[in-house]
Amino acid sequence: MPTKVPDVSAGDLPRTGTQAISRAVMVLKEVSTRGKFGWRMSDLADRCGLDRATTHRILSCLVRERMITQRDEDRHYLPGPLLYEMGLAVPRYVGFQNACAPVLRRLVKRFGGFSLAHVRSDTESICVARAGASVYVGNPMDVGSRWPLCASAGGVAMLIELPPEERQRIWEQNLTQLRGRGRGAIGALKAMIRQSETLGFAFNRGQTATGVVAVACPVFDGRNCVFGSLVLVGLDQNVSESSVLELVKAVRREAEVLMNGMAQAS
């Protein structure tokens, strides 16, 4: 059974007309986490902590409005075209995504592997661009995928730049999201965060995927707030200890290119 979304159960929602909006947004966010595979209605209801009838009413409305679509062959619910259309009206994010394309290609051309760009979404990171061939055997980092901030190098690069109180809040909520992973996996994430704090950049050598190394640096917006991150990923066998700093320097330089562009646009 899917893990229930933390802190947003029906009992926690306001008893006003905004309750329906809160529930619809919660459903939309969960649907967006499975952009390719989609959700069965029953699993989505369990995930959101809603009863089947309420979930069906929300989904029916969102399908009519084209914010969610239902795939004919398996009846799974997926993100709809209106979400994409509305996203185009957020120039800062569209501009960042477009600016990342040549940056990521340069990193891959120089070092191989593959590269990613993330933006922060409160307690999560969202992959908005990528280049190169994935080296992951498990869960891929596809464009549009959402991950807890503590669960990847790209997220940790943003997490360690936040104030301590905010980091703790995010960590506690991420733990709830990841409670099915077990102590070993959670311990590995803690070790990655501690090491990254010490190094001053996000560094993941096999903590989330065996045989994979990732380095990541934050991207700040024109107000000097954490906006996103750049990630470079390669196979462990191709990344020596001595080459890590070279990778970090290159990623930082490209992050500065993006930050300069954002500062000029703000």
Q: Are the C-beta atoms of residues 147 and 155 closer than 8 Å to each other? A: yes
Q: Are strands 226-235 and 114-121 parallel, antiparallel or unpaired?
A: antiparallel
Task: Say if residue 171's pLDDT is above 90.
Answer: yes
- pTM (2 d.p.): 0.81
Domain with CATH 1.10.10.10 in the chain: 10-86
Task: Say if residue 55's pLDDT is above 90.
Answer: yes
Task: Say if residue 140's pLDDT is above 70.
Answer: no
Kindly report the average pLDDT of the chain as a whole number: 87
Q: Mean pLDDT, to the nearest integer, of 89-101?
A: 91
Confidence label for 124 from pLDDT (cuts 50, 70 and 90): very high
Beta-carbon contacts of 109 under 8 Å, excluding residues fewer than 6 positions away, are: none
Rounded Cα distance, 4 and 25, in Å:
15
Q: What's CA 164's distance to the chain center, in Å?
A: 21
> In this structure, what token pair is assigned to residue 108?
């891959």
Query: Scanning the structure block, which residue is given the tokens 């075209």?
Result: 81
Homologous superfamily of domain range 90-265 = GAF domain (3.30.450.40)
- R_g (Cα) of the chain, nearest Å: 19
Rounded Cα distance, 122 and 125, in Å:
8
Q: Are the C-beta atoms of residues 104 and 110 closer than 8 Å to each other? A: no
Task: Say if residue 14's pLDDT is above 70.
Answer: no
Rounded Cα distance, 44 and 53, in Å:
12
At the second CATH level, the architecture of 10-86 is: Orthogonal Bundle (1.10)
Domain with CATH 3.30.450.40 in the chain: 90-265
Task: Say if residue 240's pLDDT is above 80.
Answer: no
pLDDT at 166: 95
Confidence label for 223 from pLDDT (cuts 50, 70 and 90): confident
Q: Mean pLDDT, to the nearest integer, of 174-197?
A: 87
pLDDT at 238: 72
Task: Say if residue 161's pLDDT is above 60.
Answer: yes
Confidence label for 185 from pLDDT (cuts 50, 70 and 90): confident
Q: Mean pLDDT, to the nearest integer, of 16-33?
A: 88
Q: Mean pLDDT, to the nearest integer, of 32-57?
A: 92
Confidence label for 1 from pLDDT (cuts 50, 70 and 90): very low
Q: Mean pLDDT, to the nearest integer, of 224-246?
A: 85
Rounded Cα distance, 67 and 86, in Å:
10
Q: Mean pLDDT, to the nearest integer, of 39-55?
A: 94
Task: Say if residue 8's pLDDT is above 50.
Answer: no
Lowest mean pLDDT among 20-24, 104-108, 140-144, 168-172: 140-144
Q: Are the C-beta atoms of residues 216 and 195 closer than 8 Å to each other? A: no
